Amino acid sequence: MARVLIVDDLPDSLLASRAALAGAGHECVLAPGGDWALHHLASGEYDVVVLDPAMPLHDGWPVLTAARSVPVVVMSAAPVHPDGVAAVLPKPCPAADLVEAVAAALAGSRPG
């Protein structure tokens, strides 16, 4: 289906997001921080980015700017509402909600 870049500093969140999205047929690439994500965005093509922008080390906010050419689904425990993203999900969120948000982002609509 789609190639998804998942950016999060928490290994459990990375793995849970990958399990949900791979289960829906997506190819997932994991980035454990903003620096990794910027490297992946520069060297590969992605259909959607799932991003926790509030990471303590390797902040994810530059990733949001770098990923403007693809839809971004933000997942965060902090109350964030960045402009220009496809969806904002609370963290943790049910796997089905993440899959729905990614599908909506790929279709160019908002979930729900």
> C-alpha 36: how far from its chain's center?
13
Listed by start position, the domains of the chain span 3-107
Give the pLDDT confidence score for residue 23 in this predicted structure. 97
Superfamily of domain 3-107: Response regulator (3.40.50.2300)
Strand partners, 27: 3
- Per-residue confidence (pLDDT) for residue 27, from 0 to 100: 98
pLDDT at 37: 93
The whole-number pLDDT of residue 109 equals: 64
CB 86 within 8 A of CB 63: no
CA 112/CA 102 separation, integer angstroms: 12
Instruction: Give which of 110, 75, 72, 79 is closest to 92, Cα–Cα.
Output: 75
DSSP-assigned beta bridge partners for residue 4: 28, 48
- Per-residue pLDDT 10s for the chain (112 aa) are 899 999 999 999 999 999 999 999 999 999 999 999 999 999 889 999 999 988 877 778 889 889 888 999 999 888 887 888 999 999 999 999 999 999 999 998 655 5
Residue 67 CB neighbours (<10 A): 23
pTM of the model: 0.92
